[in-house]
Each structure stands twice: as structure tokens, then as C-alpha cells.
Amino acid sequence: MRAIITATELAHELRPGATPPVLLDVRWQLSVAKAAGAPAFDGRAEYAAGHLPGAVFVDLDRELAAAAGAHGRHPLPDLAEFGAAMRRAGVSADRPVVVYDGGQGWAAARAWWMLRATGHPDVRVLDGGLPSWQGDLSTQTPAPAGGDFVPAPVAGLLDADGAAALARTGVLLDARAGERYRGEVEPIDRVGGHIPGAVSAPTTENVGPDGRFLPAAELRDRFKALGVSGDTQVGVYCGSGVSAAHEVLALAVAGVPAELYVGSWSEWSSDPSRPVAVGADPQ
């Protein structure tokens, strides 16, 4: 099953007379204060100003994650609440789903990962997000018929101990910016650095200037250079399990299955007893 869809392909699936996929709009940005008094990003307002016709807004912070706490800034949501949110959006087990965001791809990938990890068989991310769409936008809020999707227990999930072990026995990729991996800067969490043994693999290097994923062959070469080959077990983490989902998606495009450490650095670094490595060397 393909993990991404182009805007041209999506337009074809939305043509009159076709049975369209469920469309989910997951516009979101990492909340990092850039200036005193700067307004927070409002994905719902962006959605209201214009979205793909028929798309339903999904709130990453409230529907794709639980409240921040001991398990990180974006821990797994309660599965019953997640399932109810997806059914309200019209998600059913036998109907394809296409997810998009404002172009960065991180939030859409988190929705893709949540649905796939809980058993939905057909979920794709709009490659390049909303900026890639050339058709009309709508300001009408749809009222979809309720779906029937019931999430299964999450599969492909790492906890802190599992991530630490995988860094020794397989390949654990750190999807954050290189300077955060090296511990040169840490704008959010308690301390900078990385999980010992993890390999720096910024997710921004999986896409081109237009925000679309690199071709699958190029992604395979990139991950092979990072140590991913053959039957290597692969895991990914980031700051809070959002950009890492985008890297899991890039790996899927390359044909490589990977597990996600949802708690990521926000959980790992909150415990002073856990080891921290700094610098470019994984160890």
C-alpha cells in the first residue's frame, strides 16, 4: 500500500462521480515562542479560511495526542477518544483516508502513523501538503456521516527502554535538527543531546525544496548511508513524536518498516537518570 499521494492523483480520486477518500486536514505548527506576544498558530482558523472541499479538521494536540506530561509533549491519545474523533470525521475501516497539512508534512504524518498503527488499511499523505493542491478551496465545514473505524492496540511502538536497546542492536534514527542532536542548542527540553547510539538523520533531508519527498531510490540510498540495510531493525525519535512520524513515513516510501518512539526526547530528557550523549558521535 502506497503511503503518499500526489495532488494530481488526489484530484483524480475527487473527480465527480468517483467515491472520494475521507479527507483530514491536520494543520499544526510546533509551539515555540518566537517573540514576546506573538500569537500562537491556529490550525482551526487556517482550516476555516480555506481547505480542500470535504476535508474535516483534526486537532493534533487534542485528537492525535494526550496532554503533555511524564511521557512527553505529545504522548499517545486515549484510544477510545482517538477512535471517537476519527469516527466523527467520517473515518471507516473500508474507506481510504488522505491526510494533509500546511506543507511541512509532520502533522499529516502523525495522523497517518496513528491510523496505520491502530489498524486502518489504507491511509496516504498528500505529498507537499496544501501548497501542492492546484484546485479550489472551500470555507464550508462539512458534516460527514459517522464512520465505523475502531482502533486496534498500537503496533510498531517503542518505549524509552526499547529505544535504548535498539540503539545498540539496530539503528535508532534521531529526526531532529543536527544542532539539537549534537546538544549545541535546545530550545524546548531540559537538556540537549541525544540517546546514546542514535544516529543523526534530520527529517528535513528527506524532502526537496518544494516539501515533497525525495524519490524512493534516493531515500533508500540516504538510509543505507545511515546504516539501514537488509533486515536491520529501525526506530525513530524526535522531540515529541511528530517529526519522527514524518521520518517513519519517509522510510515507508523507501520500503523500510520502522518503529516510532512516541515519547522521544521530551520524555527521555525529562528523567535525569537517563544517559545523554552530545556531539556528532552517536556514542
Round to whole Å and give the CA distance between 23 and 134: 16
Question: Residue 56: helix, strand or coil by DSSP?
Answer: strand
Round to whole Å and give the CA distance between 69 and 266: 9
Q: Is 201 a catalytic residue?
A: no
The catalytically annotated residue of 238, 248, 254, 260 is: 238
Backbone angles phi, psi at 174, to 5 degrees: -100, 110
Round to whole Å and give the CA distance between 9 and 13: 6
Which residues have a Cβ under 8 Å from the Cβ of 89 and sit 6 or more positions away?
Answer: 22, 24, 56, 58, 144, 147
Question: Residue 102: helix, strand or coil by DSSP?
Answer: coil
Catalytic residue annotation: 238
